[in-house]
Chain A
């Protein structure tokens, strides 16, 4: 299944930036097991509101291209009768693709799957290893977001239900700087930097204008929790209004050829996500362990009053925690956007996994959150080896509940916290 998406062929999106003419193009090939055979001589028709805009016949290398006059939403249809003997569609219902959105100057790649599809010929072991890689990636994404949630809980006692919105915020901002029509159209990596920084700014502003005044008023932690839920709901729906309900994707890194590492086929972007996350999480670990500011964070998490009386500026430490949480969650959002889609409720959906990770590792412990993130990510993805994908998030809930029954303080937590 996974291979089907990986093998999508694409023309490089930035190839013809100055050229404002748009095209719809693609490469026709059959994919049976490992082999891929280009298919020529097949007619493809592009139409707009039922009016034919252009047709193309695929060349010997399988490539086809239709010039289109303007941006719009086109219907692309492959004429099944022109397929050569012995070549059949993988899914006959997917030979006419309605509403293919094309922007000005875009070379839109469209894929028709031919042949038996892919899944056969992949051994169980390979499939399992693929899932492990996906699990590590999801784990990295969860861990990045979970650390911030856990640290903020440690220093303020707030279980922030609006933390998932930082994830969405980061992903959506990167989408704006990178892909959105009204944005500057930077590369994804360049777009990620302001996106992450602005997420941190958002987190810091929240602390200054909302949470700090509430702490000063001595609002109870349960009241703060309810407030964070209200905030989460409001922010989520503002994002829905601004972004719209449809899932969006980044232009860069959408489609990549897998490379083979130790016999496992890995898409480079997944490797980058895992690698970058491990490095960053390691950095967070070193920061908490060895720098003065990091030790101060842990001191406040351990005992706020004692830390304060030994001269630590508690509010500053809390601010550090929020900013760090914002950066990490924003980055997690960009990674999640690369790996799936950018959607208004992506943060809420992953929040459930983040909670499971944080509880598993021990609420309030940064290292526990990292560990929990990877355990949850791996369990969720690897579980699809046996159960249907639709139920995979249920695995996280099952782990969460099992953990609460068996060891509610979490793997790395201490008993007194759960009281």
Chain B
């Protein structure tokens, strides 16, 4: 088994553009779930709204930069649509509506009915040329530090992606320490008490859902731009579960947790995947497991990881137990 190769691949994945998109999306989810206690299980829908907002705008003849605005607006509008009917109710209702809405939205985008706009399962391609025109790196060159190599094209997405993550961390840092952030956390700890001092808790939760959604929308656009392609099946429900593992791994309700979580998550996921695939290729499992199965084991690991974290260490690596509604007794 080529451990060095597996390690290199996992490290490249952990700092690559996908990890940056996950980190950014997880920052949004962390604002909703970690700080405000909102159970948004359809986070992937916000990413899809952002990505498709961009792709459809460009496809319809709009400029790339207008597409960015439309993508963010679409994600925020989605937050309003999902939050409006549910945020006055107990937390589970938001979970039910978001998980359903995300999957049904994906089926809608996939359907032949939406085909004129979304091109159904085939998706939309080549909408990010203006972005790559600004690329200061040589797209044909490989930039390498030791064994870790990136194409100039990928490197450009990566740099922009992590810069956006940095900006989002700063934004969140400021937001959480502002009066608004204190109110959001107060809603999580005791909504009735917050309402009793005259705060509009519904509106606060809606704002949180929309800001978190906008961050996820931008993350979705990073994924779309990196591939120069959007397709409905890139936005499976599993992505939401990945993000939950990331948020809880890093520590829900901490500023740096999601960034740390995304890097560690991507590393572990690819390391495990690389291990399973080369173990399968070397015949460790005999006939019991074939190559497709070996790839799917990582998803089982994600599910078990989410359960185990929630049971044993709901505060994650960085979280403090007292910052933590989700670990509390009720």
Interface residues of A (CB under 8 A from B): 159, 161, 214, 218-223, 225-227, 229-238, 240-241, 244-245, 348-349, 352, 355-356, 359, 363, 387-388, 390-391, 393-394, 396-397, 400-401, 404-405, 408, 418-419
Q: Is the beta-carbon distance between B90 and A220 smaller than 8 angstroms?
A: no
Residue among B96, B237, B306 making CB contact with A226, cutoff 8 Å = B306
Q: Is B97 in contact with chain A by the CB < 8 A criterion?
A: yes
Q: Is the beta-carbon distance between B310 and A230 smaller than 8 angstroms?
A: yes
Please measure, in the bound complex, the distance between the C-alpha atom of A356 and the C-alpha atom of B96, giving whole angstroms: 8
- Give the chain B neighbours of A400 by CB distance below 8 A: 96-97, 100
Stretch at the interface among B47-55, B60-68, B108-116, B130-138: B108-116
Please measure, in the bound complex, the distance between the C-alpha atom of A53 and the C-alpha atom of B103, giving whole angstroms: 44
Please measure, in the bound complex, the distance between the C-alpha atom of A233 and the C-alpha atom of B108, giving whole angstroms: 23
Q: Is the beta-carbon distance between A388 and B307 smaller than 8 angstroms?
A: no
Q: Is the beta-carbon distance between B303 and A220 smaller than 8 angstroms?
A: no
Q: Is the beta-carbon distance between B100 and A356 smaller than 8 angstroms?
A: yes
Please measure, in the bound complex, the distance between the C-alpha atom of A219 and the C-alpha atom of B325, giving whole angstroms: 11
Interface of A is mostly: helix
Q: Is B37 in contact with chain A by the CB < 8 A criterion?
A: yes
Q: Is the beta-carbon distance between A233 and B326 smaller than 8 angstroms?
A: no
Q: Is the beta-carbon distance between A391 and B306 smaller than 8 angstroms?
A: no
Q: Is B297 in contact with chain A by the CB < 8 A criterion?
A: yes
Chain A nearest CB, measured from B110 CB (Å) = 8
Q: Is the beta-carbon distance between B111 and A388 smaller than 8 angstroms?
A: yes
Q: Is the beta-carbon distance between A240 and B296 smaller than 8 angstroms?
A: yes
With known contacts A390-B112, A404-B86, A404-B89, A231–B303 Cβ distance under 8 A? yes
With known contacts A355-B100, A388-B112, A404-B89, A241–B297 Cβ distance under 8 A? yes
Chain B nearest CB, measured from A104 CB (Å) = 19
- Give the chain B neighbours of A352 by CB distance below 8 A: 99-100, 103-104
With known contacts A223-B310, A237-B303, A388-B111, A230–B100 Cβ distance under 8 A? no
Q: Is the beta-carbon distance between A219 and B329 smaller than 8 angstroms?
A: yes
Q: Is B302 in contact with chain A by the CB < 8 A criterion?
A: yes
Chain A nearest CB, measured from B277 CB (Å) = 14
With known contacts A221-B330, A222-B325, A390-B113, A355–B107 Cβ distance under 8 A? no
Residue among B104, B289, B306 making CB contact with A230, cutoff 8 Å = B306
Q: Could you jot down 9 A-B contacts, CB within 8 Å?
A: A222-B325, A223-B310, A225-B39, A225-B92, A226-B306, A234-B307, A352-B104, A388-B111, A405-B85
- Give the chain A neighbours of B197 by CB distance below 8 A: none
Please measure, in the bound complex, the distance between the C-alpha atom of A236 and the C-alpha atom of B327, giving whole angstroms: 25
Residue among B88, B104, B327 making CB contact with A394, cutoff 8 Å = B104
Chain B nearest CB, measured from A134 CB (Å) = 19
Please measure, in the bound complex, the distance between the C-alpha atom of A352 and the C-alpha atom of B293, giving whole angstroms: 26
Chain B nearest CB, measured from A110 CB (Å) = 27
Q: Is the beta-carbon distance between B296 and A226 smaller than 8 angstroms?
A: no
Q: Is B12 in contact with chain A by the CB < 8 A criterion?
A: no
Interface residues of B (CB under 8 A from A): 37, 39, 41, 85-86, 88-93, 95-97, 99-101, 103-104, 107-108, 110-113, 237-238, 241, 244, 248, 289, 292-293, 296-297, 299-300, 302-308, 310-311, 314, 325-330
- Give the chain B neighbours of A214 by CB distance below 8 A: 311
Chain A nearest CB, measured from B306 CB (Å) = 3
**Which of A161, A226, A234, A349 has the most B CB atoms < 10 Å from its CB?**
A226
Which residue of chain A has its CB nearest to the CB of B303?
A234
Please measure, in the bound complex, the distance between the C-alpha atom of A225 and the C-alpha atom of B39, giving whole angstroms: 9
Q: Is the beta-carbon distance between A233 and B303 smaller than 8 angstroms?
A: yes
Q: Is the beta-carbon distance between A397 and B296 smaller than 8 angstroms?
A: no
With known contacts A220-B329, A390-B107, A408–B89 Cβ distance under 8 A? yes
Please measure, in the bound complex, the distance between the C-alpha atom of A240 and the C-alpha atom of B292, giving whole angstroms: 10
- Give the chain B neighbours of A349 by CB distance below 8 A: 103
Q: Is the beta-carbon distance between B307 and A227 smaller than 8 angstroms?
A: yes
Q: Is the beta-carbon distance between B113 and A388 smaller than 8 angstroms?
A: yes
Which residue of chain A has its CB nearest to the CB of B241?
A233
Chain B nearest CB, measured from A271 CB (Å) = 29
Q: Is the beta-carbon distance between B112 and A241 smaller than 8 angstroms?
A: no
Chain A nearest CB, measured from B106 CB (Å) = 11
- Give the chain B neighbours of A387 by CB distance below 8 A: 113
Q: Is the beta-carbon distance between A234 and B108 smaller than 8 angstroms?
A: no
Chain A nearest CB, measured from B43 CB (Å) = 12
Q: Is the beta-carbon distance between A232 and B95 smaller than 8 angstroms?
A: no
Known: A219-B329, A388-B111, A401-B97. 15 other contacts (CB 8 A): A159-B96, A220-B325, A223-B326, A226-B248, A229-B241, A230-B303, A230-B310, A233-B241, A234-B304, A241-B297, A241-B300, A352-B99, A394-B104, A401-B85, A404-B93
With known contacts A233-B306, A388-B112, A393–B104 Cβ distance under 8 A? yes
With known contacts A225-B95, A352-B104, A237–B305 Cβ distance under 8 A? no
Please measure, in the bound complex, the distance between the C-alpha atom of A339 and the C-alpha atom of B14, giving whole angstroms: 44
Which residue of chain B has its CB nearest to the CB of A157?
B330
